Structure 1
């Protein structure tokens, strides 16, 4: 069984402040180490549960945060950007199940460091009328390739809002939010132990259930999607409406149609990159 582990940083135990998520300071260097240790716990748990191959995907910022020398030598490490499937690179190579480690709540929620893809650019993302965060967007993208999200970790707000999307998945709560940049956390050691245990158990469960895909499987049929996007400023709306398929329906509200979730995610990532013009 092939497992993909997508790893973000805001949901990692001990991470509370934006400085911890931005390269170039000592706080970040400690946080990226904790991120790497949680990733490694998931890797080792997956192998202990019977995984035959594990890909770990760096899914924060510039996708160059994980420290490969802290990771199990058996893992394949996906680093750098741009990449077509962004935070979900891996299902196109046959991954059957997906872990989302260190994830965070969606923009406008009360979760720790909550945002959706790009906090400067996006206030809300709605897919067919339902607001989604990164887990929902990328989980739907994985599903188009036949992969299932079975394990997620992050704060309690992330867990509460995401459980409706993945009701059968296992969640590990690494910390409890009391504000955007405050809360109560597990220690890195205890968070890693919980993640490793959950990873082993869910892989064992799905191995017994026969959740297996062969590399080269064709994508599942995707249905047309309407995406409504609320951006942070009218200047961003002006900029994003240069995109030929974008329709402006309000001062900061845009809409576009897409043939699949892959197209939605790729469009959002392109808009995110465009937003750096206005920083």
Structure 2
């Protein structure tokens, strides 16, 4: 069995504020240590279920250089750094049997949800054929392109609800209850890790019962962008059009993989500021 564990930071049990998720921020070092520990819990759970499993852990937050390599379970391989093919799902391939998403957060506009956003926060909303999708849905659909089910997601209760709507047979692990964007009632980190380990073992054991989330093409993609500069840059990409006077750009993709890659490009373009 080959398993990919994609690990973000906003949905980690102890994290509630943006300053904890940035390398120059307050308590970032603690947050990355807890992030690494929750990744290890998921690795341990997978290997409890199948000691011979091949496990890859994709660092999927911000710069993709947050997990502490020396503290990661040595039985797993670390996917680190960016840019890279498939972004948060770096190293996903046709041999992947299951995907686990740890530390994930709800999409932009989710209401009471800890640090909810889509991709880098500059993409205010993403709609695929009119359906709003955040990182949970986008990554689940990208995994679906490779016929790999997302069998588990861990994050706050809002992220878990979002996941369960898309993948009803998957395992959702709520490690904190959101009270707002920057507040939550969180499990003790050790309790969160114990819960995650046992849930990961169950999730991969019943992976055959979880259908991949698939969005067949062609697909109409609409993206609301925060910056007018990003809109100008986006429309330089062939096939991307803007609505006059609006903040929405749109394009048609023949496959979800094509849509996903262009969304990654839009996210990168959104980091460019006028000279």
Q: TM-score, normalised by structure 2?
A: 0.92
Task: Tell me by how many angstroms 1:222 deviates.
Answer: 5.1
Q: Distance in 1 between matches of 2:108 and 2:215?
A: 29
Structure 1 residues 268-277 or 192-201, which shifts more? 268-277
The corresponding residue for 2:147 is 146
Match of 2:227 among 195, 212, 233: 233
1:237–1:187: structure 2 CA closer, same or farther, 3 Å change rule? same
Matched-pair contact (CA < 8 Å) for 1:91–1:146 = no
Task: Give the SS at the match of 2:57.
Answer: strand
The question of 1:56 aligning with 2:50 is answered no
Structure 1 residues 265-274 or 4-13, which shifts more? 265-274
The question of 1:255 aligning with 2:244 is answered no
Task: Tell me by how many angstroms 1:269 deviates.
Answer: 1.3
For the aligned residue pairs, the C-alpha RMSD in angstroms reads 1.8
Matched-pair contact (CA < 8 Å) for 1:49–1:202 = no
Q: Distance in 2 between matches of 1:173 and 1:59?
A: 19
Task: Tell me by how many angstroms 1:93 deviates.
Answer: 5.5
Number of residue equivalences:
268
Q: TM-score, normalised by structure 1?
A: 0.91
Task: Give the SS at the match of 2:204.
Answer: helix
The question of 1:272 aligning with 2:267 is answered yes
Task: Tell me by how many angstroms 1:9 deviates.
Answer: 0.2
Unpaired segments ≥5 residues, structure 1: 212-219
The corresponding residue for 2:32 is 32
Task: Give the SS at the match of 2:38.
Answer: helix
Q: Distance in 2 between matches of 1:33 and 1:59?
A: 15
Task: Give the SS at the match of 1:91.
Answer: coil
- Per-residue CA deviations over 1:190-209 (Å, capped at 9, x if unaligned) read 11110000011122233xx5
Task: Give the SS at the match of 1:12.
Answer: coil
Task: Tell me by how many angstroms 1:268 deviates.
Answer: 1.3
The corresponding residue for 1:87 is 88
Match of 2:119 among 100, 117, 120: 117
Q: Distance in 1 between matches of 2:262 and 2:74?
A: 34
Task: Tell me by how many angstroms 1:25 deviates.
Answer: 3.9
Task: Tell me by how many angstroms 1:23 deviates.
Answer: 0.5
Structure 1 residues 65-74 or 75-84, which shifts more? 65-74
1:178–1:26: structure 2 CA closer, same or farther, 3 Å change rule? closer
Q: Distance in 2 between matches of 1:235 and 1:56?
A: 34
Q: Distance in 2 between matches of 1:99 and 1:136?
A: 13
Task: Tell me by how many angstroms 1:54 deviates.
Answer: 0.6
Task: Give the SS at the match of 2:166.
Answer: coil
1:164–1:90: structure 2 CA closer, same or farther, 3 Å change rule? same
Q: Distance in 2 between matches of 1:170 and 1:265?
A: 24
Task: Tell me by how many angstroms 1:76 deviates.
Answer: 1.1
